[in-house]
Amino acid sequence: MKNSLKYLSVIIVLITFGCTDIIDLKSESNISVDNFYTNYTDLQVGLTSCYKGMQAPLSEEWSMTELRSDNTVENSGTSTSTVKHDLTYLDQFYPPTTHQGVYAYWLQTYNNIRNTNIVLNAAGANYNETTTTIEYEPVTIPVTLAQCKSIAAEASFIRAYHYFNLVRLYGGVFLIHEPITPEQAKTINRSTVDAIYKLIEADLKNAKDNGSTSAYSANSQDLGHANKWAAEALLAKVYLTLNRKAEASVLLQDVISNSGYSLQSTYANVFSVNNEMNSEILFAVRFKGGGLGMGNPLPNNFAPVNSGNAIINGDGDGYNAPALEIIKSSSSYTNYIDPSAARFATNISSFTKGNAATSYFVNKYMSPTIIAYDAESDWPVLRFADVILMKAEADGNVASSLAYINQVRVRAGLAVLTSTNVNTIANFEKALASERRWEFAFENQRWFDIMRFTTTMSTLSPSTDQFPGLKMQGAEYVMKKHLNNMWSKLYSGFTVLPIPLTQLLSNANPDRFLLPIPQYEIDTNSFITIQQNPSY
């Protein structure tokens, strides 16, 4: 078995913490820089804990992204479960400021930012807010500058990944880029969105400049580690979000030409647990089943309720259900259905028990497991398909962009698009947005795509006013259209937490597209006044 990050993590965690400690690697129990980092191996162990720390936020991230998009819904309108209620609040855009999932995601993410800050500090890598660059200073432990830069490159990538998600979900957040005490943290207020993006850019440039430049190899000893190519791809996505398309295009072309990554021959093969870290996966959050405390809980979360062991061992929770819009063909829904049968079958499946109604569920992460909530399946963050579709987005409606879209379509078993089919900018953007929706369904990308396209593409703006009297465009239009479609099919039947259509549509507004700053952060700080996001 190749010595990839997933298996290196198990080995290092077992050696360093002992078998009884591997389940709890939250930042408050991690070894501090003051008493641990004495050599390069110690730095590697610290970095491994940063990778492990990426797992926890994923337990909530889907509910902040996919569930709030037009891809999935919370469909338990008769449940009295507190968890189900919390999911309904997110799905319908009215989470309270005390929402437990919103706070859990925030806390888990900042816990791992703390981990990365400790590792970066130990490696002598510091963020200079004046020059907005990562600078290196000598360290006292016996490591070379090259070793420090290699460790810091990966830690920088992880920190940038976390802040990129935070700024897109919450807006301006707390900019913490070095180890600090809880007392010091109380004196740091929210930074501007621009300031957060400057740190993200600096971190990803550091990861790009100092990360591994080796082309993809299935036999690499570094599978799972963030390298130059992953950093370039993520930085390109940042640039697309900031509407800096020319800069994104240069980075993406480098990945396409020189990284060695490529599309898998079939869509299903991308997600097979027997084919992990394949040529299409630039970066994934890795999980390891087998009772090690490193398994993926999400397959059990997504499997249908009362499915027993038919889908996955230990039954399912029925979370993150595909919206009826994308699983049933009708006169109302035809334009929403993925035309690729192979891709549809990988993404969505169904389960029927006795005379009960058929339950549709997210299928792409299902894998055999002995212990419930302990699956082997990794979570893809950056894929080569993403790279080539981002390249099409960056370059706009030109022949090469259409060719990139067609690469993904052909792999999905679809006919190629021609300049006859795509003869306007609007048609091109519509084709691109549609392809991204189906290709990355349930990978936590759709919400961010909707938000990004609002400012960088015209596709999501309405050609006609479907809602007389309401002024909207882009993301607001898409979500109002989705909620309007789903109200008669789903939400109107809710007997617990019922909601009128007028209120449902009113909730879907730009202010509510940001999550609330957790109320705990505001209420427990007696040093400064923290501003809540508008409308909360």
Distance CA 236, CA 46 (A): 27
Token reading at 151 = 């460790």
pLDDT along the chain (536 residues), means of 10: 54 39 34 73 97 97 98 90 95 98 98 98 97 97 97 98 98 97 94 98 98 95 95 98 98 98 98 97 96 95 95 96 83 75 95 89 95 97 98 97 98 96 91 95 97 80 60 81 92 94 96 97 96 97
Q: Report pLDDT for 36.
A: 80
Which contiguous run of DSSP H or E holds residue 285?
strand 281-285
Distance CA 138, CA 72 (A): 49
Per DSSP, the three-state class of 442 is coil
Residue 520 has a CB neighbour count (10 Å cut-off) of: 13
Query: Who contacts 243 (Cβ-Cβ below 8 Å, separation ≥6)?
Result: 455, 456
Distance CA 466, CA 462 (A): 8
Q: Report pLDDT for 413.
A: 97
- Residue 380 carries which DSSP code? E
Distance CA 199, CA 177 (A): 8
β partners of residue 285: 379
Q: Are 51 and 286 in contact (CB under 8 A)?
A: yes
Q: Report pLDDT for 17.
A: 37
Token reading at 108 = 């888990």
124: amino acid identity, one letter: G
Query: How distant, in Å, are the alpha carbons of 175, 187, 393 from that of 453?
Result: 26, 36, 10
Q: Report pLDDT for 473.
A: 67
Cα Rg for the chain, rounded, in angstroms? 23
Query: CA geometry: angle at 102 spanning 100 and 108, to 5°?
Result: 95
Query: Who contacts 219 (Cβ-Cβ below 8 Å, separation ≥6)?
Result: 2
Per DSSP, the three-state class of 389 is helix
User: CA 292 from chain center: how many Å?
Assistant: 24
Q: Report pLDDT for 324.
A: 87
Q: Report pLDDT for 13.
A: 47
Distance CA 124, CA 341 (A): 51
Query: How distant, in Å, are the alpha carbons of 401, 417, 420, 421, 450 from that of 427?
Result: 13, 11, 10, 8, 17
C-alpha torsion sign, points 462, 463, 465, 466: negative
